[in-house]
Amino acid sequence: MHKIVFLDRATLAPQITLTRPAFAHELTEYERSAPDQVAARLAGATIAITNKVALGAETLAQLPDLRLVAVAATGSDCVDKAACQRLGIAVSNIRGYAVNTVPEHVFALILALRRNLVGFRDDVLAGEWQKAAQFCFFNHPIRDLAGTRLGIIGSGVLGNRVAEIARVFRMEPVFAARKGASEVGAGYLPWDEVIATSDVLTLHCPLTAHTRDLIGLPEFRAMARRPLLINTARGGLVNEQDLVRALDEGLISGAGFDVTDGEPPAADNALLRAANRPNVILTPHVAWASDEAQQALADQLMDNIAAFVAGHPRNLVQAG
């Protein structure tokens, strides 16, 4: 019988159903697990499920029965995959489940900021409509999306879906080549051109050693059109101190972020401190989390486990 342990079930909403596998098993779910609880909770487990709980080499070495780490997310940075490879432990992840939810969240942020919905809502609650003494008032600029350029950094499934939606709004989506690239492939524009000419910039790339602080003060100073900056990808892609400085200096029109560098953010996080501004929207890493997407993730998670036990592993993630 397989012993399955879910280390952080609270990372999926309570209304999301986990389909029980058909093979003989024992499933134990923990809402969350502290680092010093992980080894004990996985003792004797053959399958571990984790979303964000870290599984490092030292912990993995204490788990001789472990055969599969099923990551309940696309990103698998929480797992030491090199150690898993040495120990004969497979690692699987989730793919393609967020093709609607993340792009829709991107456009929720873009539309809210481009039309100043937060500012107008705050004004209505503060009584500004009554003070205006007419049917409307114009405390904030409202701008259309049609005819604007959307710069997309990252050309995977999500970046391409965002481009598809942008065309419906009659925007011009363009994909940025890699920062510092000497050659630009077909379908891309040079990095510097996209940074300088976009009215909205949106990030859809992973966080790696090469992409950390991908956008900092030099990039903000090069943003000639004072764009909106949208980040639903990973915290750390944008230098948050430089982001606040760019807002202070008017180098960008606003920021819509679903991620921070460190989550949850510390109380003194620069972006968190700026989140009360009308041209800033910060959401708690929920772009991925529509009910439909979460259920698709949960279904794929259990399918990955069933396929592994049946001897046909899928969605395997390799080290390196």
Please list the active-site residues: 234, 263, 285
CA distance 310 to 312: 6
Strands (E), 140-294: 149-153, 172-175, 200-203, 228-231, 254-257, 280-282
Distance of CA 167 to the CA centre of its chain: 22
Q: In what order do the strands lie in the sheet with 90-92?
A: 25-29, 2-6, 47-50, 68-71, 90-92
* DSSP three-state, residue 298: helix
Distance of CA 172 to the CA centre of its chain: 23
Q: Which two tokens stand for residue 312?
A: 């046909």
Write down the number of H helices and E strands in the chain.
Answer: 12, 11
